[in-house]
Structure 1
């Protein structure tokens, strides 16, 4: 029960900071000292209570100057449409189908013409073939990452 209470306290502390700031940058070890707990407790709280589904984006950098950055995000109204596009991409997608998805995003005014052209530039068959792996798989991974980043506004 002690761990659950500690998790609630850590969560409340981070959320309190996020009420007045757009993001919070923490150091796991410093937080562990502050709350007199093990660093893995901080990881647990972040991994279970500050997820994308809860409306947060988490970035981390390892090493001596490492940090964990937590940002509150606002989901856009088009999130369901974008989720459907992600499902359509799947594990691999050809250049033509990727173009159709980008065109749909543009038609629905989710992205601008310039953003669409930028996305298409990294979906290009000739450019992706330079990686020496299955271009359709790489294209799907890139497009999925781009689509997921469109779901929210930081």
Structure 2
């Protein structure tokens, strides 16, 4: 039941942000993470989840974020070619990627047509916990990020 409730709030937040983006006219929206969390009576990490899954580069958005007291989130709607999209994803991966994030990134890239579906599934298997079983748990997210970056670079 809890998962369904979380998915419901994610849909509400995403819908609200999409409406606000549509109203801006220029495809740029700036919001306060804290105010948004307060409006939807959720934790700020829920806002982060919506940003990473619904407003990702693979879906045609660039999200800039600044944390702290005056932290904000700026969402920009963009149209980019396949190579630009892949490079943006590569550059935004960071040093560590957890498995749910890898799953979302690869799913979004496949959905956007930047990766073939069979390659996305294969890559997900390659960075999954079964494949990384010999890697100590505390290093898996780092290895996962390295593997993702290297394979995605070959796709550019």
| TM-score (ref. length: structure 2) | 0.48
Between 1 and 2, higher relative CO (CA 8 Å, sep ≥ 6) is seen in 1
TM-score, normalising length: structure 1 = 0.49
User: Between Structure 1 and Structure 2, whose CA radius of gyration is higher?
Assistant: 1
